[in-house]
Amino acid sequence: MHYKLKSMHNIDYRRVRVSVQKNQKTNDLLQYLHSHHVPIYHVRSTKEVLQFELARQHIAILRKARSKHRVKLKLHYLTTDELLPKRLMTIVSLLCLWLIPLLCNYWIWEIDIQGDTPEQKAAIERLVQKEFAAPILKKRLPTDQEVREFIMQNFREYSWVHVAKVGSKMTIRPQLAPKNEMKENKDGYYHLIAGSSGVITHFDIKSGERKVTPNTTVYKGDTLVSGLMLVGERQLLIGAVGDVYADYWLESEFTIPQEVQYEVVTAEAWHFTFTPEGLPTEIKALPLPEWLARYIRVAKIETREKIVETLTEEQIESRIMPLLHEKMVQSLPTKSIIKKENLLHIQFVDGKVKGKVLYLINENIAKPYPIN
């Protein structure tokens, strides 16, 4: 026997198949659903079971009917005929699937600090947390050059800071400056004089009497720190020891081929290999027990891609300026930093790029001068 009850409204919700054990209460159940305007579909009847389908939104009424008439039934949730039901929740879910990745792309969610030692890494992390902490909008994030200058001004032992942004991750990798060992002359006492002209920024002296103040312009040969200290009417010989930092401008010229080839890091991933030797593209290895390290190695590997391109005027600042900056830093004494750099002008001549860069450098200009 097949019959169908229809309601005035066409319901598009997913359906549920209901199996009811036949007894004297079965007709009462159907009458209850009918009195509450619940449409049922595809009714099938056997000797023991009555089956029909209804919309999911009417399950609550069905459960009330079951409790009232004490009828045993089973529910089987059917798959919908529509791929995406026309429901508000479905539309909201689709919008979230599209909007969330789009909005997340405008944020930096992770800032990875890669230091040579845990102490250095922790110190840089504390400094970075004070200025900009993840998550942070990309448009509020300082530029790579500003991040580099900020870290190098606070940690003078670094000659360069690599800054890379891949997706929603920012990696900061400082590079220690080469150590230049200076032998101290213990046989005499010295004044500290200016080895070059500049504007004094700060002092780092162990002994001696200052003769100039910060923000003072000094010229080559001026006495910065005296090795003689006036005590009453006497002069006490103490010797001047330390550093005096000053800002000065330095102009540099460069000539490079217009067609350049370089490598970029496209991905980083952890690799597991059955070999104790490191790979050329390995940047970090996971420390393992000595007995285990003889057979396996877990390391983070860089994937690099070679790129050949012809430089344009717009690419000089983004591609070449960081390389010129690093080259200039390596030519400066230890603890020197570059505060600012301005590209003066460039020329494209015979497949080469020629230009000038003006650097604002802060370095120790103090030179020892013997006290006669």
Nearest-angstrom CA–CA distance, 225 and 364: 13
Q: What is the pLDDT of residue 280?
A: 66
3-state secondary structure of 319: helix
Q: What are the chain's domains?
A: 1-100 (3.30.70.980), 107-176 (3.10.20), 190-241 (no CATH), 262-306 (no CATH)
Distance CA(233)–CA(235), nearest Å, equals: 7
Give the whole-angstrom CA distance, residue 244 versus residue 193. 9
DSSP-derived secondary structure letter, 167: T
Q: What six digits make up the tokens of 23?
A: 């007894």
pLDDT of residue 225: 92
The set of long-range contacts for 46-53, using a CB threshold of 8 Å and a minimum separation of 24, is 47/22, 48/21, 48/22, 49/19, 49/20, 49/21, 49/22, 50/19, 50/20, 50/22, 50/26, 51/17, 51/18, 51/19, 51/20, 52/17, 52/18, 53/15, 53/16, 53/17, 53/18, 53/78
Residues whose CB falls within 8 Å of the CB of residue 314, separated by 6 or more in sequence, listed in order: none
Distance CA 132, CA 150 (A): 11
d(CA 23, CA 27): 8
334's torsion region: left (phi>0), alpha (psi -120 to 50) or beta? beta
Q: What is the model's pLDDT at position 359? A: 92
Which residues of the chain, if any, have pLDDT below 70? 1-13, 79-88, 90, 156-157, 159, 177-187, 275-281
Report pLDDT for 276.
64
215: left (phi over 0), alpha (psi -120 to 50) or beta: left
* Tokens 């910060």 sit on residue: 214
pLDDT, tens digit, for every residue of 263-294? 777 777 777 777 666 666 677 777 777 777 77
Tens digits of per-residue pLDDT, 201-210?
Answer: 999 988 888 9
Tokens of 42: 């595809």
- Structure confidence at residue 278 (pLDDT): 64
Cβ contact 3:43 at 8 Å: yes
Q: Residue 284's Cα: distance from chain center in Å?
A: 18
Measured over all CA atoms, what is the biggest interatomic distance in the chain, rounded to whole angstroms?
126
- pLDDT for res 13: 65
